[in-house]
Amino acid sequence: MATGHMIKAFDEELDALRGTVCEMGGIAEQAIVEAMEARVRGDLEAAARVVERDRRIDELETEIENVAVRIMACGSPTPDELREVVAALKIAGVVERIGDYAKNIAKRVPSVEDSRIRPVSLLPEMARIASEMVHNVLDAFAARDPEKARLVRERDVAVDDFYNSIFRALLTHMMENPHNITPATHLLFVARNLERIGDHATNVAEMVYFAATGAHLGDRAKGADTTGIAADEIGNDPYGR
Amino acid sequence: MATGHMIKAFDEELDALRGTVCEMGGIAEQAIVEAMEARVRGDLEAAARVVERDRRIDELETEIENVAVRIMACGSPTPDELREVVAALKIAGVVERIGDYAKNIAKRVPSVEDSRIRPVSLLPEMARIASEMVHNVLDAFAARDPEKARLVRERDVAVDDFYNSIFRALLTHMMENPHNITPATHLLFVARNLERIGDHATNVAEMVYFAATGAHLGDRAKGADTTGIAADEIGNDPYGR
């Protein structure tokens, strides 16, 4: 990237912009874990707090757009500098979507009566990994660390494996007992939200890697998909290869 | 908006940018219908064509980012002009996601054996409405027509109603016969992809309305949600209210 060419003021503005994106990410990361804890405990108040806090993520995205426009309007940034701003805007958009998925998990708390269903015990661990991926990919973004970004993408294989196991386990629960069908369907959507969070963190990892190295990470390992669904939901490569 | 203040060249560049966003939208709109037709006919080749064509949507998004950077770098656009470019980038990102959902429907074709399941007959109509929403919201974007944008958002209520009906019907099919559980689960995800497309078209409608009027559309009608899931998936207001 053209960091070397940047005038200091622009560089500082861009770092501040990155900082706000990371602040968004911190809220989203926390929301994933808290939403899952609320679900496991059936804690409606904690779930409501997660839903309420998502507004803050949306406010930060709007703030980021305004700051981005301001710094693009001051001075005359080079195309490479503009690309950096556009990348920050794009990543902020992905973080907003991650916050949405966490909110969706929290919103689903009231409608889940799944005490009898075992795979719920896998979901908190899946949530922990997804949350760590969000944390680490934003560290990689702030530090422009391609290696850290690469490692985040590798972890997505574990999230897909969790999704596949949970998906299959839920199908068997549905088949065993029709009373499990409705709660299992809700759990299926919770697992899907976590799987999507992993995919979005992976998309960000690919953007960070490309921005730092100018090279694309190779194709994703999709071997982990065994449901015929998880792979359907793997996000597009941000560079459309 | 500050259209009046724009220098002509910028305005023409921006119109060209909008044109490319609409071209993306046209491909996505067509992909939704073709993916559903392929699913209904079990036509794997047609499904593969839809998946393949999604690459073009991704290429166009990359192209839009490059053009946006170029026009932001030429001359010195005003903050309002930059906002217009940022809005076009944001809408291109949403269209890319819509294309993804269509691709996901097409990818699911091979894994669906649902001949015995009735609600499949509702899905093509739901797909038609979702596809029309995408078409109309991009017309509204190109024409900066807030009334057309408002009407698109109203149609999303119909998409949510379809989703709710299909969701409930699929649950009953699962309960009636365990052999229906796997195909019904796949259909559930097809319906969800269509429901998400409607939400994304609605997000764009809200952006277009705001850009054209400076005012926000009121809260969405969420009364249509009766599954406790559709509402979970309603996208965030793009302005984070």
pLDDT digits (tens, 9 = 90+) for A12-69: 888 999 999 999 999 999 999 999 999 888 899 999 999 999 999 999 999 999 999 9
Q: Indicate yes or no: CB of B90 within 8 angstroms of CB of A86.
A: no
User: B145 or B9, which is more confident?
Assistant: B145
Which residue, among B76, B94, B179, B232, would best test binding to A if mutated, counting the most A CBs under 10 Å from its CB?
Answer: B232
Compute the average pLDDT of residues B199-212: 92
- Report the predicted TM-score, pTM, of the whole model to 2 decimal places: 0.83
Residue A188's H or E segment, with its range, is helix A181-213
Q: Indicate yes or no: CB of B108 within 8 angstroms of CB of A61.
A: no
A-B Cβ pairs (cutoff 8 Å, strict): 126
Q: Indicate yes or no: CB of B233 within 8 angstroms of CB of A68.
A: no
Q: Indicate yes or no: CB of A100 within 8 angstroms of CB of B235.
A: yes
How many angstroms separate the CA atoms of A229 and B46, rounded?
19
B107–chain A nearest CA distance, Å = 6
Q: Please, what is the average pLDDT of chain B? A: 84
B160–chain A nearest CA distance, Å = 16
Count Cβ atoms below 10 Å from residue A215 Cβ, excluding itself: 9
Q: How confident is the model at residue B183 (pLDDT cuts 50, 70, 90)?
A: confident
Determine the distance from the C-alpha atom of residue B241 to the mean position of all C-alpha atoms in its chain, rounded to a whole number: 21
- CB of A204 closer than 8 Å to CB of A91: yes
Q: Indicate yes or no: CB of B107 within 8 angstroms of CB of A232.
A: yes
Residue A55: which of B82, B192, B240 has the nearest Cβ? B240
DSSP A115: T
Contacts of A231 in chain B (CB under 8 A): 107
Q: Please, what is the average pLDDT of chain A? A: 84
Which residue, among A20, A56, A96, A174, would best test binding to B if mutated, counting the most B CBs under 10 Å from its CB?
Answer: A174
pLDDT digits (tens, 9 = 90+) for A80-109: 888 889 999 999 999 999 999 999 999 987
Residue B240: which of A61, A107, A111 has the nearest Cβ? A61
pLDDT digits (tens, 9 = 90+) for A131-170: 999 999 999 999 999 999 999 999 999 999 999 999 999 9
Q: Indicate yes or no: CB of A82 within 8 angstroms of CB of B89.
A: no
Residue B82: which of A69, A78, A108 has the nearest Cβ? A69
pLDDT digits (tens, 9 = 90+) for B63-122: 999 999 988 887 778 888 888 899 999 999 999 999 999 999 999 876 655 556 665 689
ipTM, interface predicted TM-score of the complex: 0.77
Three-state secondary structure of A3-53: HHHCCHHHHHHHHHHHHHHHHHHHHHHHHHHHHHHHHHHCCHHHHHHHHHH
pLDDT of amino acid A145: 95
How many angstroms separate the CA atoms of A145 and A239, rounded?
19
Return the percentage of chain A with pLDDT > 70, whole number. 83
Contacts of B107 in chain A (CB under 8 A): 231-232
Q: Indicate yes or no: CB of B181 within 8 angstroms of CB of A189.
A: no
Residue B171: which of A62, A73, A185 has the nearest Cβ? A185
Q: How confident is the model at residue A120 (pLDDT cuts 50, 70, 90)?
A: low
Q: Indicate yes or no: CB of B73 within 8 angstroms of CB of A77.
A: yes
